[in-house]
Amino acid sequence: MLRRVTKYGEAVLKQNAEAVSDFGIGLNNLAADLIETLAAENGLGLAAPQIGVSKRVFAIDMRRRSDTDTPCRFKIDGREIPLDIAMPLVAVNPEVEEIGDYVEICDEGCLSFPGIFAEVERSAAVRMIYSDLSNARHELVCEGLFARCVQHENDHLNGITFIDHLRAKELFKIQTKLRKLRKQTKEFLKGSQHKGFE
């Protein structure tokens, strides 16, 4: 089911999401909603808090990246997997570890911050241990844009958004847009009689 993407200013985006303990139909429905909403929004990744569900789950689809000339190489359980087989990837209860000493600074955006982009420093490579929808554990090792997406989405599960990583100079550049978005969110929630704005 297509879900509304939560926006900057909604409390769920600042919460530490709960671990998934029930690997039943509810989780499968949540994963399907994440994948459908991600496709509709034409994004690379989407975390459960971004559709209003405070659970430790996110979906990534690297087939949607704009630079398809650069190969997207990664390993799952020690094996290189074709992109079309591995994607979309749904990670449940992920544990992300930065590996290597290299960092990259790139422009980053977020579906919860439409039209807002800023340079964010991230580790160039990560290792992620996660469960699939059947509660089987896997290891993903990736780098570049894929690693950036994993870190970005995993942050959402810890109540962290990409603007929390910005230096003061970068934050200042987008301050006006942030204030406008926060005001829009507040008005939307007030009009919809939603709770959860902070």
Taking every pair of Cα atoms in the chain, the longest distance, rounded to a whole number of angstroms, is 50
CA distances from 35 to 20, 108, 145 (A): 18, 20, 19
Is 56 buried (19+), middle (13-18) or exposed (0-12) by CB count in 10 A?
buried
Report, as residue numbers or ranges, the catalytic residues: 153
Amino acid 122 reads R
| CA separation for the pair 165, 22 (Å, rounded) | 32
